[in-house]
Structure 1
Amino acid sequence: MSGRTGRRNRSSRRGVAPLDPRLLRYARASAVYVGLSTGISALTAGLVIAQATLLADVISRSFSGGATGLAGVWHLLVALGIVVVARAALAWAQEVAAHRSSAAVKSTLRARLLARVFELGPSWLVGERRTTLTTLVTSGLDALDGYFARYLPQLILAVVVPAAVVTWMVGADLLSALTVALTLPLIPVFMVLVGLATRARTRRRWRALAVLAHHFADVVAGLPTLKVFGRAKAQARALREVSDQHRRESLATLRIAFLSALVLELLATLSVALVAVGVGLRLVEGNLDLRTAVLVLVLAPEAYLPLRLVGTHYHASADGLAAAEEAFRVLDTPVHPSGRRVGPEPGRTTLTVEDLEVVRAGREGPVLSGVSFEVRPGETVALAGPSGAGKSTLLAVLLGFVVPASGRVLLGSGEVERAGSLGTRVELSDIDIERWRTGLAWVPQRPYLLAGTVAHNVRLGAPNATEVQVREALAAAGADDLDPALVVGERGSGLSAGQVRRVALARAFARVAARTQAGQGCLLLLDEPTAGLDPVTEDRVGSHLRRLRAAGCATVLVTHRPALLPLADRVVEVSLRKCPTSRPGRVPLAFAGVPA
């Protein structure tokens, strides 16, 4: 079992506690709200006792011979009205605080989730369903409203109010207090049993929702292909089946919720009836006065009410707890710490890769093994090899997205000082990786464009680039036929695959030009930069890469195309079957001699 899977399973077994300390740790607003809710609950408990006491006094005095109508109890009625209004005001304050706290916690968790995803990087996202993360950050965390607005306040009330009521009843009627104290635990016991069954159902419902979202996103993304091959109706049936599965899981969860509510109501009703029978018998026999009897009969339901409502609101919060559990799984995923040292500028120093090995969870054996090479300032090094040999993974290591299992990436001249230590060399893992990335220009194997204009996507590489500089970058990438003001959709929707790649190349070239003009170094990382381009455009891109090399720009190039290999000073052949070898570049190579 992989480390990621093991952590996920451990998180699933642990679950989320009713008041999980991780929630307090990740969202400070929840800690403030818990404190405020505890204070409101204490005041509510006091008002409950005051209301029952005043009501008992009013009733007992009204039926006693000493009272003369309302004249003898009007002040008690006024006090009772004030208590009722105060309870309503506290309930309103609890509701307002709950919604504000819920909004603050959701905002904090979303920000922390996105920050953690950025910290974990693209290599972690490879093993995750992105639609599941999207559902979690949006509608998943929205389900926390039920937890904060209903369940958590009632949970605190269920702790404070029964304890206060039973304590007050001990002084009024010990026998009734014992009856309530002995029957109260029955409700939490049944709530735990119901909760265990509901948790499994809720997890299945959450998984069904994630599968539905994932399947729907896949169908929408692949709809053109499905239409061409006549499989659209089959996928519509499959989507209907997934939707029906989600519906069945939701109804199963609701069925348990309704049955559990019935059980809790029955237990609370029988418990109150047991207290009432004892009080009635003793009242008839003259062993209990009217005031005490009324006080006990009014307080007994108030002791059971918070526990009953906790069980009812638990089901409303179950989706939020399931989403919180998934959020904690992501937030608890360890992040490899970045160094703090200020490293040399990329492209201005020698980059040395020594015996690099990378392993990936879920795959047998390393995805990259035994890689060693150097990239000196102004050099172009090409990585060639069969698909799946780990060339893109190697670029991910240089970008700081992947942490190697062994080996290291060194920056510096590598000159040995007299003391025998490596003089100016520093490991990539020891430097500030964010600062390092500011000096990198990268074109991934599958370029990504954001919704916006072409110029907006080019300026992601150089935010201060002028319109002229944007057009120069587009021309260098063979995309001078594209209008910089052209609006494209997410993932470059509206452009062909070749046009998307050319805009990505222009973005990288704009970054190199901006840093060169500022007198700063830059390292260009290209992963299949001319895949899907015609020979004329490929030649224009190659010509610009020659100009960049002549200007001193260091480049690491991953390619299967023979037209780009002559640009390289060295060609490093990457293979899992043997240690990589280097051979001189800048000479035409027969296509048959280049690994596929």
Structure 2
Amino acid sequence: MIDKSLFRFDGVRQRMGLLALLSLAQALCIVGQAHGLARGLVEIWKQHAVSALVSPAIEFLAFYALRHLCDVAKQRISSKYGKYVAGEIRPQLQEKIFRLGPQALASRGTGSTVTMLIDGLDQVKSYIEILLPKMTDMMLISLVILIAVWWQDWVSGLILLLMYPLIIFFMVILGLAARDRSNKQYAQFNILNTKFVDSILGLPTLKMLGVDKEYEGEIYSVSERFRKRTIDVLKVAMTSTFALDWFTTLGIAIMAVFLGLRLVNGTMPLFPAMFALIMAPDYFLPVRQFGDNYHATLDGKNALHDIMSFIDSSETPQDTETQWDGWKADSELKLEDVDFAYPAGSKLQGDDDVQSVASHNVAMNAVEQQREGEDGKKPDGSGDSKSKRRRGRGEKVAAQDQQSSVESASAPSNASVGSDEKDVEPKKAGAGTIVEQAETQPDALHHVSMSFKGYGKIAVIGKSGAGKSTLVNLLAGFNIPHAGSIELDGHRLDNFNVRVWQRHISYIPQTPYIFSGSIADNIRFYVNDANDEDVKAAAHEAGLDEWLAELADGLDTLIGEGNRGISGGQAQRIALARVLLDKSREVLLFDEPTAHLDIETEYDLKKTLLPIMENHLVILATHRLHWLANVDQVLVLDEGQVVESGTPKELIGAGGPLDRLISEMGGNQIDQYLN
């Protein structure tokens, strides 16, 4: 029942030892309490004076109070340790997600990751609070009571001893069934979360294509499977509770019959009979409580196993050997023929390549199937050469067997990228490293070559799904290239997961991470020891003064995790204040910083951003063409390839890919370049 990973945390054995001592003390108090109560009942039966009840009453009340004090102490110890373990796990989990980057969300799904971070940690805390004291109670209290009852009456002790294995047997059988159903329910819950979040992220695309109603069916189907899994767990839980109560009642009833017959025959004194009968419910109580709480702890055990497996999952080792002094006016970065592909079955969540692509391509599949049905074609599109041509490199195709993919706990996603199912051969990375590529998807970035020198603002432009966010995540060190070469100021790198590089970059995604705490604490994200004056100055430069003036506590105002209580524009300004507070980060990576803002907020934020971008290397992934008026270089991506690069004046009006993109997206935003 105890997950082995729990023993990785400091102090667990000491806590269990302390809980065992308290359980032993509590067991002795239960015996003393029953002894006092039995004495009192015997005195009443014998019709002795009321004064004869004083001593038994004091004995009963004293042991009763001590018993519950022990129980309170156990609850406090286990609760405090549960908080400690959750506190130990949280930074490890956040650091792991930070190191893996968006690809961690890609492989798990956003919904599953959020569940692990929020509900999972709470379940682990509850698991420890319940499990540790119940385990020590079941091991010690019942044993002490059995010895005490046997000492008074061996027949009653024998009945209790024979009933105990029977209860344990049925508890184990039902526990195994409960564990199996609980594991399936937990996996289905993660799948439901992922499906739901995918649907929310892709809802605009689904509605635009007119297939949002059709997609409701999949959400309903996944929800129904989760409901049935939950009902199965509840059935086993209720059966288990009934079985434990029934056998407990049966054991007490059998013992009571034997005691009654011996009392009637005059072969047994009243005191041992009363003592044994009073002790019997407490003898079975620990195992009953453990059985009742077993189902509540299963979710916590599953969550702990899931979290520790994620923390222990493999990752690309960080390069800590390379020495570099940071980006300067004469620094140069070169990428040549860089390729990157997501693992097979992964989802590109958190990426602009997915927020539209994940559900966009599911929707496109649905539209194609509708059209094929109208044209009298087979549902699988066989014989339709047009539909096959539409499945180009980088396009996401929904899996045909959604049922099997949803039922698979190891693969919560039911979508795969690309139409070809051939294995990709292992490729040689920049420094000769071999990266395993079995069953990968088609390249998300293909033969990408580019160079940056000195300070400047570079815009990465392209349609949704072109690879903009994938490229930014690669530059941040989250995505590891499978081929190509990287050179930074003469240093040959395998990838950008390099400590000194990441120490000098600021990465601002579409939705910055806001944790629970004050605004000032959030601004100190990179510089924990920054003084109040520096934080205030950074907030001023980031344009937060007007908002802070409306808050009674100013920078000390508490805000919530996941941007609760603040707008998207305010979250972006907090992220900018972080950049301004840490002057040592000369490279700024922006992934659609204004994608989810309204026009007025975007305009105000842009005015704040432009001065910050000076004297930095800025790489800005965006599909907002108005940024072209303010950048020095443009990279146009299409299907993971750089199809055009140069200054805005060189490219606009040249009739190339950028002009076609401008035509499709509304070129009147930048008419000044056409003059």
Question: Does 2:51 match 1:44?
Answer: no
- Alignment partner, residue 598 of structure 2: 494
- Alignment partner, residue 344 of structure 2: 362
Give the alignment partner of residue 314 of structure 1, picking from 271, 289, 294.
294
Give the alignment partner of residue 115 of structure 2, picking from 123, 135, 141.
135
**What is the 5 A alignment of 1:460-539?**
460-463=578-581, 492-495=596-599, 513=614, 516=615, 524-525=618-619, 531-533=623-625, 537-538=627-628
Q: CA deviation at 1:113?
A: 2.2
Q: Matched residues in 1 for 2:222 and 2:42: separation?
A: 63
1:383–1:559 Cα contact (<8 Å) kept: yes
1:356–1:408 Cα contact (<8 Å) kept: yes
Q: CA deviation at 1:96?
A: 4.5
1:355–1:370 Cα contact (<8 Å) kept: no
Question: Does 2:479 match 1:402?
Answer: yes
The residue type paired with residue 365 of structure 1 is V
Q: CA deviation at 1:375?
A: 5.5
- Alignment partner, residue 645 of structure 2: 565
Partner of 2:625, secondary structure, is coil
Deviates more, 1:449-458 or 1:293-302: 449-458
Cα gap change, 1:194/1:511 in structure 2, threshold over 3 Å: closer, same or farther? farther
Cα gap change, 1:343/1:113 in structure 2, threshold over 3 Å: closer, same or farther? same
Q: CA deviation at 1:300?
A: 2.6
- Alignment partner, residue 289 of structure 1: 269
Q: Matched residues in 1 for 2:45 and 2:575: separation?
A: 83
The residue type paired with residue 23 of structure 1 is L
Question: Does 2:115 match 1:23?
Answer: no
CA displacement, residues 267-297 of structure 1 (integer Å, 9 cap, x when unaligned): 1222223333444444455554333232222
The residue type paired with residue 301 of structure 1 is P
Aligned residues: 500
Q: Matched residues in 1 for 2:179 and 2:81: separation?
A: 24
Q: Matched residues in 2 for 1:351 and 1:316: separation?
A: 54
Q: CA deviation at 1:43?
A: 1.7
CA displacement, residues 349-393 of structure 1 (integer Å, 9 cap, x when unaligned): 665769977665327316976669895854999999999998976
Cα gap change, 1:404/1:562 in structure 2, threshold over 3 Å: closer, same or farther? closer
Cα gap change, 1:80/1:131 in structure 2, threshold over 3 Å: closer, same or farther? same
Q: Matched residues in 2 for 1:306 and 1:212: separation?
A: 36
Cα gap change, 1:98/1:443 in structure 2, threshold over 3 Å: closer, same or farther? closer
- Alignment partner, residue 569 of structure 2: 452
- Alignment partner, residue 260 of structure 1: 240
**What is the 5 A alignment of 1:222-261?**
222-236=202-216, 238-261=218-241
Q: CA deviation at 1:264?
A: 0.9
Partner of 1:492, secondary structure, is coil
Deviates more, 1:389-398 or 1:435-444: 389-398
What is the RMSD computed on CA atoms of the aligned residues? 4.8
Deviates more, 1:28-37 or 1:186-195: 28-37
Asked which structure has the greater CA Rg, the reply is: 1
CA displacement, residues 178-227 of structure 1 (integer Å, 9 cap, x when unaligned): 33233212222222211221122223333343344334334433444444
Q: Matched residues in 2 for 1:366 and 1:105: separation?
A: 43
CA displacement, residues 407-466 of structure 1 (integer Å, 9 cap, x when unaligned): 8756554xxxxxxxxxxx57567x98344223336688xx5567233644544543368x
Partner of 1:343, secondary structure, is coil
Cα gap change, 1:76/1:156 in structure 2, threshold over 3 Å: closer, same or farther? same
Task: List gaps (5 residues or longer) in structure 1.
Answer: 1-17, 414-424, 466-472, 480-487, 517-521, 547-556, 569-584
1:346–1:440 Cα contact (<8 Å) kept: no
Cα gap change, 1:219/1:361 in structure 2, threshold over 3 Å: closer, same or farther? closer
Q: TM-score, normalised by structure 1?
A: 0.68
Q: CA deviation at 1:161?
A: 0.5
The residue type paired with residue 8 of structure 2 is R
1:442–1:525 Cα contact (<8 Å) kept: no
The residue type paired with residue 462 of structure 1 is L
2:79–2:125 Cα contact (<8 Å) kept: yes
Cα gap change, 1:334/1:285 in structure 2, threshold over 3 Å: closer, same or farther? farther
Partner of 1:344, secondary structure, is coil
Q: Matched residues in 2 for 1:231 and 1:266: separation?
A: 53
Partner of 2:149, secondary structure, is helix
Cα gap change, 1:448/1:277 in structure 2, threshold over 3 Å: closer, same or farther? closer
Question: Does 2:95 match 1:115?
Answer: yes
Question: Does 2:503 match 1:438?
Answer: yes
The percentage of counterpart residues that share the same residue type is 23
Cα gap change, 1:335/1:182 in structure 2, threshold over 3 Å: closer, same or farther? farther
